[in-house]
Amino acid sequence: MRWMWMVALITLMGCKSENKAPAAEGGAPAAPSAEKKLSVGFSQVGAESAWRTAETKSIRDEAEKRGVALKFADAQGKQAQQIQALTSFIAQKVDVIVLAPVVETGWEVVLRQAKEANIPVILVDRGIKVSDDSLYTTLIASDFVAEGRMAAEWLAKQTNGKANIYELQGSTGAAPAIDRKKGFEEGIQKFPEMKIVKSQSADFTRAKGKEVMEAFIKSDRDQIQAVYAHNDDMALGAIQALDEAGMKPGEGVTVISVDAVKGAFEAMVAGKLNATVECNPLMGPLVFDTINKIRAGEPVEKFIQSKDQLFEKTNAAQVIGSREY
């Protein structure tokens, strides 16, 4: 019977040893695994402007500050690449997707896949059109229509309601381009002598803004009284074209744009840009505060609006030193 007791004792000791943490090198128990980092997939339009670069930096910096594992994808202005990035994020089982959409439409299929995977989607700076609003959780952005209206009201005041306006639109199909045009047109409706003579897309880029403005100058040089650009980069390109043509932007031609990046302030200080409407790109803190609320089960608004204001060349020198972007 003695051998049976010994077998039982050895078996009992073996069972207890299975419950111990595996030993690390040197015989010490291994440390428990670290808590899994929050994983966020961020699909960005591209780097077509100083504003876009500032937005990307803000979100990246805030992710690093909070210890978030950020998976970043630059779509280079192509919706197909954004859809591919979102599909990859879903396959990687990220916790949240942040999307700055290239255009408004064409998101139904991939966002439905995200919803089925229980991955909340936060839109930043641009809205989308979908048949089911539950496909995204919230939109964090400025009111683009209000920005366009603000630009129109300022221009009407500066020109006494009389101006031949040449418009540089953003990328075709992009929410800022659609809404900033809509707001501007609404703003000049009550001024019959304010007319948009020509309007053309310049894709939110400085190079294209210069190219389109050069074409306007070639065909309508003596008619151009004002330029309205949907972003500062296009305005800066237009200013270069006007300068090279000897048309004195900021004096002979009134120029107003949207974004309020540092380059626009420099142009205002130089007297070549008359005004810019702010569209704040520093969304990082608000994006991650919103993510925390969503993960905690707290309610969030469908549209979280950032506040904007208008700056003029008369006060640009006093403000430029405090600009973060």
Give me the pLDDT at residue 23, please: 38
Give me the pLDDT at residue 308, please: 84
Give me the pLDDT at residue 4, please: 40
For the residues 6-10, what does the mean pLDDT come to? 40
Give me the pLDDT at residue 21, please: 39
* Residue range 39-141+281-306, CATH number: 3.40.50.2300
Tell me the per-residue pLDDT of 36-93, one tens digit each, with 9 for 90 and over.
789 999 999 999 898 999 999 999 999 999 999 999 999 999 999 999 999 999 999 9
**What average pLDDT is seen over the chain?**
91
Give the single-character DSSP code of 253: B
The domains spanning 39-141+281-306 and 144-279 adopt the same CATH topology? yes
Residue 49 in 3-state DSSP? coil
Tell me the per-residue pLDDT of 248-265, one tens digit each, with 9 for 90 and over.
999 999 999 999 999 999
Report residue 215 as tokens.
Answer: 């074409």
For the residues 145-159, what does the mean pLDDT come to? 97
Q: Quick check: 239 pLDDT over 80?
A: yes
User: 91-95 long-range CB contacts below 8 Å, 24 or more apart?
Assistant: 92/39, 92/41, 93/39, 93/117, 93/119, 94/39, 94/40, 94/41, 94/119, 95/38, 95/39, 95/40, 95/119, 95/295
Report residue 120 as tokens.
Answer: 């909340």
User: For 21-30, 121-130, 279-288, which range has the lowest pLDDT when averaged over its residues?
Assistant: 21-30
Please tell me the class of the 144-279 domain: alpha beta
Q: Quick check: 306 pLDDT over 70?
A: yes
Q: Are 171 and 97 in contact (CB under 8 A)?
A: no
Q: Are 235 and 229 in contact (CB under 8 A)?
A: yes
Domain range annotation of the chain? 39-141+281-306, 144-279
Where residue 35 falls among pLDDT bands split at 50, 70, 90? low
Q: How many CB atoms lie within 10 A of CB 289?
A: 15
Which residues, in sequence order, are bridge partners of residue 304? 140
